Amino acid sequence: MTKISKDTPLAELTLRKYEKPYTMSRRDLMRKICLSTGLLQPGDSRDSIVDIFQILIETKTEMSCEEIQEAVIAKRKEEKLPLNGIAASNIRRQVKRLRDIYFVEKVRNNYRIQENEQLSVLFTEKIEKFYLAGIIARVKEYLQELEK
């Protein structure tokens, strides 16, 4: 009997290109960043990750998941958005996704933007130079192995 191995990726990255950011509201800009980096899928109605990310960027302080959840609820009510995706379990899952892409770090039991750094610097240092470079290098290894 032949054993089939699972094709589980070690790393995965989705990047999308959209139009230039001319005149957009802050929330729309955050939404495009989430869409562009694969944190949000086109057409998703549950976009609480946009609020979570924006809150962490704007507060510039460490926050617990409970504090993030309260801030997301307040923000969504303020902007008259449906309260979709605000369960504590979903907030934790979305924060983990932000951690997995190296935008957010855990400090004790709280979360903040990685090293309180600017997002453009984090994208360049963590995603472009480290994460993406590693994925590209592995694809090249597969290509070279195929060419042997």
- For residue 4, the SS3 value is coil
Amino acid letter, residue 10: L
Residue 11 to residue 35: CA distance in whole angstroms: 18
CB 34 within 8 A of CB 47: yes
What is the tens place of the pLDDT at every residue in 105-146?
A: 999 999 999 999 999 999 999 999 999 999 999 999 999 999
CB 115 within 8 A of CB 56: no
Q: How confident is the model at residue 1 (pLDDT cuts 50, 70, 90)?
A: low
Where in the chain are the domains?
Answer: 26-115, 117-148
What is the tens place of the pLDDT at every residue in 47-102?
A: 999 999 999 999 989 999 999 999 999 999 999 999 988 999 999 999 999 999 99
Cβ-Cβ contacts under 8 Å for 8 (sequence gap 6 or more): none
Residue 63 to residue 101: CA distance in whole angstroms: 18
Tokens representing residue 4 in the block: 């089939």
CATH number of the domain at 26-115, please? 1.10.10.10
**In 37-145, at which residue ranges do the beta strands (DSSP E only) sit?**
104-107, 110-113
The residue among 1 and 92 whose pLDDT is bigger is: 92
